[in-house]
Amino acid sequence: MHSAPTAAAPGEGTPAVTPTHCPYCALQCGMGLRARGAGSVEVVERPEFPVNRGALCGKGRTAPELLSPGRRLTGPLVRDAASGALVPASWEQALDRIAEGLRRTRREHGADAVGVFGGGGLTNEKAYALGKFARVVLGTSQIDYNGRFCMSSAAAAHQRAFGLDRGLPFPLADVSRTGCLILVGSNLAETMPPALRYLTELRENGGKLIVVDPRRTRTAQAADLHLAPRPGTDLALALGLLHLVVAEGRTDEEFIRARTRGWAEARAGAMAHWPEYVERITGVPLPRLREAAELFCEAESAMVLTARGPEQQAKGTDTVGAWINLCLATGRAGRPLSGYGCLTGQGNGQGGREHGQKADQLPGYRKLTDPAAREHVARVWGVAPESLPGPGRSAYELLEALGGDIRSLLLMGSNPVVSAPRAGHIEERLRALDFLAVADVVLSETAALADVVLPVTQWAEETGTVTNLEGRVLLRRRALDPPEGVRSDLYVLSALAERLGVEKGFPTDPEEVFGELRRASAGGPADYSGISYRRLIEEQGVHWPCPEGEDTGDGEGGADRGDAGVGSDGTGSEGRPGRPSGRDARPHPGTPRLFLDRFATEDGRARFVPVSHRPSAEEPDEEYPVFLTTGRVLAQYQSGAQTRRVDELNAAAPGSFVQLHPRLAARLGIAEGEEVAVVSRRGRAVAPARVSADIRQDTVFMPFHWPGAGRANSVTNPALDPTSRMPEFKVCAVRVERATG
């Protein structure tokens, strides 16, 4: 077994270093952990890992602080019926209470009255086991996860255009070698600081950087060109650029003919968005639109990368589709150093949606509605295909149904009291449940509402795989033992399955779970069958798809050329991978670069999707005259449940704030540091004013890491994208006023 390997000590008397990865964002930066004694570890650099090359942000450096017993849960808690307080309990008592709560709900209200909510930070093994537990043990269709709030719009657009969703279809290192990069709605300097080096190297290599953001962020300050559109108008901006490309004869007609379909309809949609019209919609001056189109088209190679800015909108799928159309029309896709990609946010946001905790998917990124997929996975699981429930509600719809159709909820690795849109309403729905069980590292704001809280292991206390934003599967390795009262999520699911009558099929050894995941994913779009723990120990990660072997009968290797998405650089298949060929098979090399010969559609051609601009779900009016947009700050992460417990990080970013332009502040009579209220139709958030010229005059910004009065998601709009079911976090109408009382 390879559950807790450590590297050899560099010298006599020097403690061994365990190679592993940061527990936070989707870069999954390589780091080492060295034992310090008394059950603690320190972070050391791991410069050989290619993604971050040793660089770490403050969150990564301080990650071991949360391993301290004083900052995390160390024993189960149950709700005392008499006092209403959470009190310590044994593991047997806590698990029995959960099993009885779930069993009672199923008996009285049916299987779909039990919900399961997962997280984008769970390892692949946990996400896989959670999806299997929901469908096999509970028999419920009501499972989704907080990754729905991350990049579901980009994923949907990838599927429509390319036939396959992987955040980056190329290694991150390719970014530094392209000729021009358009970065849309991402502030890498604060969200993924070690990745900023690629933008610096891009410019040092002579490439051009264009940043699209309504704020002049630290990332935008480093750009050759900053476009600051009105929030909610990224779709119009992309269409306006495509219009200019067509009008100026800059399309790649040979690429369009050879490798795409649907150009005529997409072209017509773009031509309806003439530049002067787009200037009025977006507020971006026409000369800057022309400059952006020129920089993008004149470069020998070019990329577009999007993040939450354009994606967390009620038209996010179409918005991403418009940027993909721009890439396809100019031949900037499926070629070396060119393409469209999405910067995944959560630590395992990519792998977390590939293996079954998403409402409509089975392991291997298979569709739950596909009979062949159901049959394959059911065979691996040892159940009848017809026993598997169909697709359930998306994340926000599931949360909104709590206390209504859904009476009990098992939640792992998420904190929707802070992270969900219209968060005050979601908090009410959680309180309305008959039964809530939460497994987490800390007593988050959501865990504090639970009937049972289970303390689970952290990244340094367990072995498991994650998949970073490049589709690179990585092995996190156990470096120390957890506190005595802490168990793994896999243990929780195994113990609950046994109590609910399923005694086999839920092992607690992560390598054994991964072995089953490999079999379940085999032949699917996200094929992990050729990846093993041993291989991940020996290599610096393996990019999926990676089938179990490849046909070497032609002497050259490579997957069956009849399969979708084979890479011309010899890196293997991208869609439905080729299968092994018996004794002639050798390990598949993995697939760093997708789509170089063909896209993962049935005919190998990318699809243009015609789109048109439409207003946001909620536009400013007389009562709510200002846009609100939200995002992250350098020292905090997601809902802050973990980073707010680290002294250094909390000192750097102790609380929320409202960023607003000096002219807006003057008009409202608001001074720097004054408490202000941001009010929408859904709620109110209060935080100090931060007056800055680095934001549009019609827009205010709040970070979303804090609960309480400064909770930005008390205000945000849960309007959903019709395709991805992504809520519109990034734009809503508010008024800003002095706080009173």
| Structural domains of the chain, count | 4
Are 92 and 135 in the same domain?
A: yes
Are 215 and 307 in the same domain?
A: yes
Are 257 and 292 in the same domain?
A: yes
Are 418 and 487 in the same domain?
A: yes
Q: Give the model's confidence band at 553: pLDDT under 50 very low, under 70 low, under 90 confident, else very high.
A: very low
Burial status of residue 96 (CB atoms within 10 A of its CB: 0-12, 13-18, 19 or more)? middle
Cα distance between residue 662 and residue 659, in whole Å: 10
Q: Give the model's confidence band at 36: pLDDT under 50 very low, under 70 low, under 90 confident, else very high.
A: confident
What would the pLDDT profile of 164-221 be if each residue is shown by its tens digit?
A: 999 999 999 999 999 999 999 999 999 999 999 999 999 999 999 999 999 999 999 9
Structure tokens at 121: 């930070």
Are 64 and 101 in the same domain?
A: no
> What is the share, in percent, of the chain residues with pLDDT greater than 70?
93
Angle at 123 between CA 599 and CA 77, to 5 degrees: 150
- Check: CB of residue 317 under 8 Å from CB of residue 157: yes
Residue 90 inside a domain? The answer is yes
DSSP-derived pairing of the beta strands 606-607 and 260-261: parallel
Residue holding tokens 């530094």? 176
Cα distance between residue 646 and residue 643, in whole Å: 5
What would the pLDDT profile of 213-242 be if each residue is shown by its tens digit?
A: 999 999 999 999 999 999 999 999 999 999
φ, ψ dihedrals at 588, nearest 5°? -70, 140
Task: Name which of 714, 728, 717 is nearest 418 in CA terms.
Answer: 714
Residue 155 inside a domain? The answer is no
Q: Between residues 568 and 424, which one has the greater pLDDT?
A: 424
Cα distance between residue 25 and residue 469, in whole Å: 9
- CATH no. for residue 719? 2.40.40.20
Residue 537 inside a domain? The answer is no
Residue 582 inside a domain? The answer is no
What would the pLDDT profile of 305-352 be if each residue is shown by its tens digit?
A: 999 999 999 999 999 999 999 999 999 999 999 999 999 889 899 999
Give the pLDDT score at 9.
39
Given 518, 536, 563, the domain boundary residue is 518
Give the pLDDT score at 151.
86
- What mean pLDDT do residues 495-516 have? 98
Domain extent for 64: 17-71
Q: Name the amino acid, one letter, at 48.
A: E
Q: Give the model's confidence band at 550: pLDDT under 50 very low, under 70 low, under 90 confident, else very high.
A: low
Are 734 and 637 in the same domain?
A: yes
Given 483, 518, 553, the domain boundary residue is 518
Separation in Å, CA 628 to CA 56, 319, 733 = 31, 19, 6
Q: Dihedral of CA 126/127/128/130: which sign?
A: positive
Are 387 and 249 in the same domain?
A: no
Please determine, for residue 582, whether its predicted confidence score (pLDDT) is greater than 50: no
Structure tokens at 625: 């005259």
Q: Between residues 486 and 6, which one has the greater pLDDT?
A: 486
Asked if omega into 545 is within 30° of 0 (cis), the reply is yes
- CATH no. for residue 24? 2.20.25
Give the pLDDT score at 567.
41
Give the pLDDT score at 39.
76
Task: Name which of 535, 511, 529, 153 is nearest 363 in CA terms.
Answer: 529
Give the pLDDT score at 585.
60
- What mean pLDDT do residues 79-84 have? 96
Residue 539 inside a domain? The answer is no
Which range, of 2-16, 364-378, 535-549, 692-706, averages the lowest pLDDT?
Answer: 2-16
Q: Give the model's confidence band at 407: pLDDT under 50 very low, under 70 low, under 90 confident, else very high.
A: very high
What would the pLDDT profile of 70-81 be if each residue is shown by its tens digit?
A: 999 999 999 999
Please determine, for residue 741, whether its predicted confidence score (pLDDT) is greater than 90: no
Please determine, for residue 34, whether its predicted confidence score (pLDDT) is greater than 90: yes
Please determine, for residue 274, whether its predicted confidence score (pLDDT) is greater than 80: yes
Residue 707 inside a domain? The answer is yes
> What is the share, in percent, of the chain residues with pLDDT greater than 90?
91
Given 52, 71, 90, the domain boundary residue is 71
Are 450 and 331 in the same domain?
A: no
Give the pLDDT score at 586.
79
Separation in Å, CA 127 to CA 118, 134, 173 = 7, 11, 28
Give the pLDDT score at 570.
31
Are 63 and 88 in the same domain?
A: no
Q: Which residues contact 251 (CB under 8 A, 6 or more apart)?
A: 245, 329, 330
Are 289 and 141 in the same domain?
A: no
Give the pLDDT score at 168.
97
Q: What is the mean pLDDT of the chain?
A: 93
Give the pLDDT score at 3.
38
Angle at 247 between CA 245 and CA 252, to 5 degrees: 45
- What mean pLDDT do residues 490-513 have? 98
Are 135 and 190 in the same domain?
A: no
- What mean pLDDT do residues 698-723 have? 97
Give the pLDDT score at 373.
97
Output helix, strand, coil percentages for the chain, rounded to the nearest 5.
35, 20, 45
Residue 367 inside a domain? The answer is yes
Are 370 and 469 in the same domain?
A: yes
Residue 129 inside a domain? The answer is yes
Beta strand spans in 218-363 (E): 225-227, 260-261, 302-306, 339-342, 361-362
What would the pLDDT profile of 42-61 be if each residue is shown by its tens digit?
A: 999 999 999 999 999 999 99
Q: Give the model's confidence band at 122: pLDDT under 50 very low, under 70 low, under 90 confident, else very high.
A: very high
Q: Give the model's confidence band at 13: pLDDT under 50 very low, under 70 low, under 90 confident, else very high.
A: low
